[in-house]
Chains A and B, each alone.
Chain A
Amino acid sequence: MPNQPLLTGEAIYRLIPQRPPIVMVDTFFSADETDAETGLHIHADNIFCQADTLQEPGLIEHVAQSAAAFAGYAPYTRGEAPKLGFIGEVKKFKIVRLPHCGEFLHTHLHVMGEAGGVTLIAAEVQVEGETLATCQMKIFIQEGE
């Protein structure tokens, strides 16, 4: 696990266009050309929590916003605003178990390919080294207005 996150809390707003109550990334550990690591503390007031558990859409949105943050990181380093990113396709989203409130999601993203504004990523979500979910996702980044 990287020692010091690059961005945490509201500083993540520089990378993603989502705002409360639907911000599903609160830690941005690292990013290079092909990989990134993100995180999320699960609080009971998360809109996707029910019965002390983060439900399936919360887990999927966490991965989608992690990918959006990854896509937003390069523009951020150039001093540009984040662009709107949309999920185009979710594939093979396999969930071993849903995380509980109080747990911390640590997510690894890997870019499998990129073409024409579409990025294909593979993601693995862990809690303390235990894999909770894996998936592939196509993210569209909206250029300009």
Chain B
Amino acid sequence: MLIHDYYTIESNSIEGGIGDFCIRLNAGCRVYQGHFPGKPVSPGVCNIQMLKELAELMAGQRLFMNNLQQCRLTTLITPDEHPTLKANLLLEKIDGGYKLRAALGQDEAVFLEMKAELTPAK
């Protein structure tokens, strides 16, 4: 893990290219000291990284995100208001790597969704 205490996986189900995860954000992670002082907001890039790490778990190998085709961040995520999140991933094998579609949210609401291309990390 890049920031080892940013989140924990509470449960997961991986079947074929479909992965469903329950995530707990750690409000004590030191990234919140600076993002932002006295007003913790989960950095969008940390959530993107988290989804990439979940994709690595599914792929069983380290991946390099060479193309983040699109990522929409529609709701501000904070560790206080959103201590638990669900992540739904669809990882498809393509020539030379993987195509990832992922959504992060709660219940039926989607807070962040992304499409990316990944290749095995050297």
Contact = CB atoms under 8 A, between A and B. Distances in A.
Given A20-B34, A48-B2, A57-B48, A87 B68 contact: no
Contact of A19 (B37, B48, B68, B74): B37
By secondary structure, the B interface counts as: mixed
A21 B33 contact: yes
Contact of B36 (A18, A47, A56, A64): A18
B71 interface: yes
B76 A86 contact: yes
Interface in A1-25: 17-23
B59 interface: no
By secondary structure, the A interface counts as: mixed
Contacts of B45: 48, 57-58, 60-61, 64, 87
B118 to A, nearest CB: 10
B119 to A, nearest CB: 10
Contacts of A88: 72-74
Given A19-B36, A21-B31, A90 B76 contact: no
A57 B33 contact: no
Interface string B32-64: 011111000101111011001000000000001
A66 B31 CA distance: 18
B30 interface: yes
Contacts of A101: none
B3 interface: yes
Identify the 10 closest CB pairs spanning chains A and B, nearest first: A57-B45, A19-B34, A93-B68, A57-B49, A22-B34, A90-B71, A61-B45, A56-B65, A87-B44, A60-B45
Interface size class of A (residues with CB under 8 A): 20 to 34
A119 interface: no
Contacts of A23: 34
Contacts of A48: 2, 45
B66 interface: yes
A94 B116 CA distance: 10
Contact of B30 (A21, A57, A135): A21
Contacts of B44: 64, 86-87, 90
B30 A89 contact: no
B69 interface: yes
B57 to A, nearest CB: 16
A137 to B, nearest CB: 10
Contact of B70 (A22, A87, A89): A89
